[in-house]
Copies of this chain bind each other. A is one copy, B any other.
Amino acid sequence: MTKVHNYSAGPCILPQEVLEKAAAAVQNFNGLNLSILEVSHRGKDFVEAMENARSLVKELLGVPEGYQVLFLQGGASLGFLTAAYNFFPQGGKAAYINTGTWAKNAIKEAKRFGNVDVIASSEDKNFSYIPKGYGIPSDASYLHYTSNNTIYGTQFKKTPISRIPLICDMSSDIFSKEINVADFDLIYAGAQKNLGPAGATLYIVKEKMLGKTGNDIPTMLDLSTHIAKDSMFNTPPVYSIYVSMLTLEWLKKNGGVSWIEKINQQKADLLYSEIDRNGLFRGVTEKEDRSNMNATFVLNDESHKETFDKMWNAANISGIKGHRSVGGYRASMYNALPLESVQVLVDVMKELERTKG
């Protein structure tokens, strides 16, 4: 099979060995002579997979006592609503940082509950930087931010220091670098970047923070519902959770989050160095806020577009077309993307320079 260098922004590349195990389980899960797609979620084998997935999340991220790990559905988009229902008292106040499309969508859902104080925004420069130097109102129920902005290619390099509860949508950089879970009261993340296939959504929540809003929370949006039933209140997205478990096993076996963080840094350094060195290209974001997951860049001279596009296509690179909100190129370098794929892209950029520079 020809190797494709898969830079897709999500759903995205998963480790080859995970895909092989994932395919095998569709044929025969755990030697049951049944497909993982046709077994009961309440059977011993899948219950073990679910427990294993939740344990691996705890182990790999060092989740402290008092936190619950859940695998639910709906993506971060439903998470925006779920977060507010569980943390935003009706008529109260919450603080949000606006770093792009997903942050705005989170703000929109939060506004149903009360006063949303957007304490910082980078909208003035098309979200090309991470705001700094903002104050956090002490009377807000929580501060919400998006740790990595897939579309724009920006990433918080430090967790905001907050005296109020902290909620983070980590959809596109969870498991890519070490975090201190104790800094957060709620983390949520769609699986389809560093975790597994689309369809599962991870929640990590400090349990004692729940049940304090006085909100009458719909059953499926109440995190307590799912805690009480070990993520099995209703039929979970079985396969997405199973493959997430396989990915977490792969991560653990290879050295965990600290291991992948170093590789992700190498990949990012390699690509951003070339973007900065090569006179045909320039980065889109502030250098200090560059995402290690999604590198956004443009050609200085658009007339080279056709040649460059042909060249990376010929090199079996896929998925680097930029999002329509930004244009140009976006190279998503999630955990499973090997360093060699970044080298192939860098080589193509160098080759373009030789041809056109």
Please list the residues of chain A having a beta carbon within 8 angstroms of any beta carbon in chain B: 1-4, 6, 8-14, 19-20, 22-24, 26-28, 32-35, 37-41, 43, 73-78, 80-81, 105, 108-109, 112, 190, 192, 196-200, 216, 218-221, 233-240, 243, 318-319, 336
Q: In the assembled complex, which residues on chain B have CB atoms less than 8 Å from the CB atom of A190?
A: 235
Closest to A237 in B: B199
Q: Is the CB of A34 within 8 A of B6?
A: yes
Whether A27 and B33, one on each chain, are in contact in the complex, defined by CB atoms closer than 8 angstroms, is no
Residues from chain B with Cβ under 8 Å of A20 in the complex: 27
Min Cβ gap A219→B in Å is 6
A262 to chain B, nearest CB (A): 23
Whether A218 pairs with B109 at a CB distance below 8 angstroms is: yes
* Interface SS of chain A: loop
CB pair B109–A198 under 8 Å, yes or no, is: no
Q: List 17 A-B contacts (CB under 8 A).
A: A9-B40, A10-B40, A11-B38, A14-B38, A19-B26, A20-B27, A23-B26, A37-B197, A73-B73, A73-B78, A74-B74, A77-B220, A80-B220, A198-B236, A199-B238, A199-B239, A237-B237
B contact residues around A75 at 8 Å (CB): 73, 234-235
- Which residues on B sit within 8 Å (CB–CB) of A40? 8-11, 319
Does the CB pair B112–A33 fall under 8 Å? no
What is the total number of copies of this protein in its complex?
2
Contacts of A3 in B (CB 8 A): 33
Q: Is the CB of A23 within 8 A of B27?
A: yes
Residues of B within 8 A of A219 (CB): 77, 80-81, 105, 108-109
- A8 to B77: give the CA distance in the assembly, Å: 32
Cα(A27)–Cα(B4), bound, Å: 13
In the bound assembly, the distance between CA atoms of A219 and B78 in angstroms comes to 8
Given A218-B112, A219-B105, A19 and B6 touching (CB < 8 A)?
Answer: no
* Interface residue from B19, B74, B235, B239 paired with A38 (Cβ < 8 Å): B19
Centre residue among A22, A73, A105, A235 by max chain B CB count within 10 A: A235
Q: Which B residues lie within 8 Å of A336 (CB)? A: 38
Complex alpha-carbon distance, A200 and B75, angstroms: 12
Q: Are A237 and B1 in contact (CB under 8 A)?
A: no
- Which residues of chain B are within 8 angstroms of A76 by Cβ–Cβ distance? 234
Pick from A12, A43, A234 the residue with the most CB of B within 10 Å. A234
Contacts of A192 in B (CB 8 A): 235
Task: Evaluate contact between A26 and B22: CB separation under 8 angstroms.
Answer: yes
- For A72, the closest partner residue in chain B by CB is B74
Alpha-carbon distance between A35 and B6 when the two chains are bound, in angstroms? 10
CB distance from A247 to the nearest CB of B (A): 10
